[in-house]
Amino acid sequence: MNDKNLKVAGLTKELLADLDKMFPERTPEINMEMKEIYFRIGQRSVVRFLHQQKQEQENNIMEKS
């Protein structure tokens, strides 16, 4: 998939803040199974991607102004 052509609608600071609370960046615990670690990494990866999309959208708006 080409991320440069992807536009995610409806990204707000409030939505991203809520996602950060639900899926925070955190170090895995020693007793976690690898399957759970990978699952949480995937969740956080999506949140990071959405943050990046929001930043790119804001940069594009500023460049067009």
Domain that holds residue 51: 3-64
- pLDDT score for 2: 57
Q: Where are the alpha helices (DSSP H) in 2-65?
A: 13-22, 34-64
**CA 65 – CA 57 distance, rounded (Å):** 13
Number of structural domains in the chain: 1
Q: Tell me, what amino acid is at 46?
A: V
Per-residue pLDDT tens digits of the chain, which is 65 residues long: 555 667 889 999 999 999 999 999 999 999 999 999 999 999 999 999 999 999 999 998 777 76
